[in-house]
Amino acid sequence: MNGQTVTLYGAVLGQSGPNGPDTSAVDAGDALVRAAFAAITAVPIFPAGHVVGELSSPWGASVPVMVSKAVTVLAWPSLRVPLTVRLNRLTETLAAGSKVGVLQVRQDSQVTSTALKSTAPLSGPSASWRLIR
């Protein structure tokens, strides 16, 4: 699905029918697979450019942070998708569009990553803030 491999595990037990248990089990298994794949869909987590947080400096300046590309995962009802954010070590000032970290979305062994970028410049500390610190 969407270029990703999906592995399903299931079991069909206790089947009986007019054509015997083997045929009934294969028919039930086919119905189970069709229902499972019908429930799996591509779900957008964040569209490109979506603001996901704010970066704040010790001197009070702040800037919104956005995802650089859309994040979409294959999902099914009630799936929980863990998100991890790793921030870069930052300098005193940032230009607009600077990469400030990475957002990762994990689904078992599948990891989707996107850069986190500042939406505006982040100014450095004022001279008075530097003097009293």
pLDDT digits (tens, 9 = 90+) for 88-102: 887 778 899 999 999
Alpha-carbon gap, residue 71 to 105, rounded angstroms? 8
How do residues 62-85 score in pLDDT, each as one tens digit?
A: 999 999 999 988 888 888 889 999
Side chain identity at residue 92, one-letter code: E
Alpha-carbon gap, residue 118 to 104, rounded angstroms? 17
The beta strands (E) that lie in the chain are given as: 41-46, 51-56, 62-67, 71-75, 83-87, 99-107, 110-118
Which residue is listed with tokens 């592995």?
7
In CATH, which of 2.60.120.560, 3.30.1330.10, 1.10.3470.10, 2.60.410.10 is domain 41-131? 2.60.410.10
- Tell me if the pTM is above 0.85: no
Domain residues of the chain, as ranges? 1-39, 41-131
